[in-house]
Amino acid sequence: MGSQPFVKFKNLGRMAFTQAYQMQKEVARTLLEEVACHSQDMVSGNTVLLVEHDPVYTVGIRSKQYSAEVEERLRKLQADFVRTNRGGLVTFHGPGQLVAYPILYLGSFFKDKSMRSYVHSLEQMIIDFCTRFQLEAKTTEHTGVWIGDNKIAAIGVHGSRYVTTHGIAINCNTDLSWFDHIVPCGIKDKGVTSLSRELGRVVTINEAYPILVTAFERQFKCTAVGEIKCS
């Protein structure tokens, strides 16, 4: 790895999960083709998609434990339900939640091209992000990033030939009652929280966007380019 890599940030605004999922696949396919053709660490297609989803429950690769009855029950809440290839169990995405999908070639950022190194960097980036709001966040033996016993950010990723998809979800001013209908990420006896709840004021996605981009630049030692203005 030589000079700092460039990462394209694309703000998708409000979008259904299935549409953003398809975009992830297309960007990842293009990046995989670039890596295969050039066989080099510094590639031009590293991208982060920023999005706010319509209400949706998603499950990861262990989705078989979620029956058709569970899916029907959640859909009756006027939310979509999507099975994906990410790690992790069930979670919720929806309005007021900042979702970031880094589609990255790991060789651009880590000598060992390790998913473990990547997930650790995501965790540290979110902790840094929370610090900018004067919040003390931490990691635990469970996935995600926590404030006390409450999860403020979920992490669920997938890797194929050193290219990542899926990513992180940070609760800004999310309606947390959506989480009452599931066991988020399969972790019992723990809660969820948001920036707004912790700070006692409304924290919008528009406020959080630039802080997340800056935290990403610091942690991944990259330069953000592209359209990152708020919708």
Residue 144 annotated as lining a ligand binding site: no
Q: How far apart are CA 214 and CA 46, in angstroms?
A: 16
Residue 88 marked ligand-binding: yes
Is 166 known to sit in a ligand binding site? no
Determine if residue 17 is labeled as part of a ligand binding site. no
Residue numbers annotated as active site: 185
Q: Is 213 annotated as a binding residue?
A: no
Contact yes or no for 157/117 (Cβ under 8 A): no
Torsion sign, CA atoms 98, 31, 116, 189: positive
Annotation-wise, does 99 bind a ligand? no
Query: Has 211 been labeled as part of a binding site?
Result: no
On whether 174 is known to bind a ligand per the annotation, the reply is no
Is 156 labeled as ligand-binding? yes
Q: Annotation-wise, does 226 bind a ligand?
A: no
Positions at the binding site for substrate: 86-93, 154-156, 167-169
Positions at the binding site: 86-93, 154-156, 167-169
